[in-house]
Amino acid sequence: MNSDLAHVFLLSLVALLNPTLLAAVTVMLFLPSPKKLMFGYLLGAYTMSITLGLAIVFSLHGSSAVSTSKHTLSPAEDIVVGVLALIIAFVLGTGRDAALKRRRQRRKQAKEKAGKANQPWSQRMLDRGSARVTFAVGAVLSFPGVAYLDALDHIVKLNPGTGPTILLVVYFCIMQQLLLEVPLLGYAFAPDWTQHAVTRFKAWLARNGRRAAVIGLVGVGLFLIGRGIITLLT
């Protein structure tokens, strides 16, 4: 197998480790009409990632734009987000968020007494079950990351022709949304089992949510910081 093609396949597996997508899927599973919300997110993600991927491959063929981009903004973003994840894990693990929770509870009670809405605008929009909102969120959060830019660079070097290039870009975009596609397929082909699994997941999260959040944030933070450093050094 051509080394550039092998890199594309390997990078598609790396793209599966997307903490932002995992967080978005978890949030949507807790909201009404999760199937509709996830489908809207997926359409937005496909629209943005496939369109930009094809534009980069065909418009910037032979240039250094892809290679340059993958070594600048994305690694820095990885490191910053990774550090923030570790800080949040520390706050949750040590219980230092208790004072903040008390202040939020007091503000919530004050708003309730005043008859004001106590939900943020974004939460109210999502609670409406609007696929248009999640379409926009999916599009915004699906700008090419470091793994995708690296894969596009290898596709440009591979130069397989128009048809195979389109197929490779679409393949990569499908792979990097797998965390979203799997539950959607579950709702489509096994809705009762999927709903039962989601209910059990919610119950487990209610019992172990804080501990799971700390472990997950530490893992994500270390992974992102390591990936950012490695990318900057290569």
Q: Give 6-53 pLDDT, tens digit per residue.
A: 888 888 887 887 777 887 888 888 777 888 889 999 999 999 999 999
pLDDT band at 63 (very low <50, low <70, confident <90, very high): low
**Structure token pair of residue 140:** 């915004």
Number of domains in the chain: 1
What backbone phi and psi angles, to 5 degrees, belong to 89? -60, -40
Contact 77, 229 (CB under 8 A): no
Look at residue 108 and tell me if it is in a domain.
yes
The closest alpha carbon to 156, from 60, 51, 91, 25, belongs to 60
pLDDT at position 80 is 82
Q: Which residues span the domain enclosing 26?
A: 3-229
Give the Cα separation of 140 and 97 in Å (integer).
29
Residue 122 in domain: yes
| pTM of the full structure | 0.63
Please tell me whether residue 116 adopts helix, strand or coil conformation. coil
* Backbone φ, ψ for residue 130 (5° rounding): -85, 115
- Location of structure tokens 């070594």: 71
What backbone torsions phi and psi does residue 2 show, to the nearest 5 degrees? -55, 140
> Is 162 among the domain residues?
yes
Within a domain: 190: yes
| Residue 234 falls inside a structural domain | no
Q: In 61-161, which residue ranges form alpha helices assigned H by DSSP?
A: 65-69, 73-94, 98-114, 121-127, 131-140, 146-158
pLDDT score for 194: 85
Which residue bears the tokens 């396949």?
A: 9
By C-alpha distance, which of 233, 234, 227, 187 is closest to 74?
Answer: 227
Give the span between the Cα atoms of 36 and 190, in whole angstroms: 16
Q: What is the pLDDT of residue 74?
A: 63
In a domain, 45, yes or no: yes
Mean pLDDT of 208-221: 78
Calculate the CA dihedral of residues 178, 83, 48, 21 and round it to 10 degrees: 30
